[in-house]
């Protein structure tokens, strides 16, 4: 809890590019469609990668359905979330790149790592939490939770 609170505090101080959005639907474990300032936006969670379930050229990956189901169960349609951007606002697919915070202040990106639904994915220049996420991934691996128990890599 201390780390999550610290992450929320650091994000607030580091980046004033924050918005409140409404979840419209979950595409997969790390991609969500939201209503943001009256516009529909597809967002991609920064610093993580969940196993594929809907990629047009890749098969469904081990633990992908579980990661997608967890994201859908947590980010219910109509729920309110806080989005915080890092340095580069969009990816090559024009998805908005964000750290997503739940209404209780916890960072959802980190929850996915902690529970073994995601691996870390560090891509410059959006690396504000890369070392923290790496530490949390190491812990999830050691505890053999989620994909670290079910999938060989």
Q: Which residue in the list 82, 85, 95, 119 is annotated as catalytic?
A: 95
Strand, coil or helix: what is 10? helix
Q: How far is CA 38 from each of CA 35, 41, 110, 117, 118, rounded to the nearest angstrom?
A: 6, 9, 27, 30, 30
Under DSSP, the state recorded for 98 is: E
Q: Which residue in the list 44, 82, 85, 119 is annotated as catalytic?
A: 44
95 is catalytic: yes
Q: Which residue in the list 41, 52, 66, 137 is annotated as catalytic?
A: 52
Which helix (H) or strand (E) segment holds residue 91: the answer is: none
153 is catalytic: no
Name the residues annotated as catalytic.
Answer: 44, 52, 95
């Amino acid at each position: 809890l201390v780390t999550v609170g610290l992450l929320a505090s650091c994000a607030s101080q580091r980046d004033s590019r924050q918005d409140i959005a409404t979840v419209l639907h979950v595409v997969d474990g790390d991609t969500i469609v939201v209503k943001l300032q009256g516009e529909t936006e597809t967002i991609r969670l920064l610093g993580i990668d969940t196993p594929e379930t809907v990629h047009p050229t890749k098969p469904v990956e081990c633990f992908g359905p579980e990661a997608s189901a967890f994201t859908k169960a947590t980010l219910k349609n109509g729920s309110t979330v806080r989005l915080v951007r890092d340095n580069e606002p969009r990816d090559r697919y024009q998805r908005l790149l964000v750290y997503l915070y739940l209404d209780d202040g916890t960072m959802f990106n980190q929850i996915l790592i902690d529970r073994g639904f995601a691996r870390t994915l560090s891509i410059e220049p959006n690396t504000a939490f890369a070392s923290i996420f790496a530490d949390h991934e190491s812990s999830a691996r050691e505890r053999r939770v989620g994909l670290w128990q079910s999938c060989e890599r």
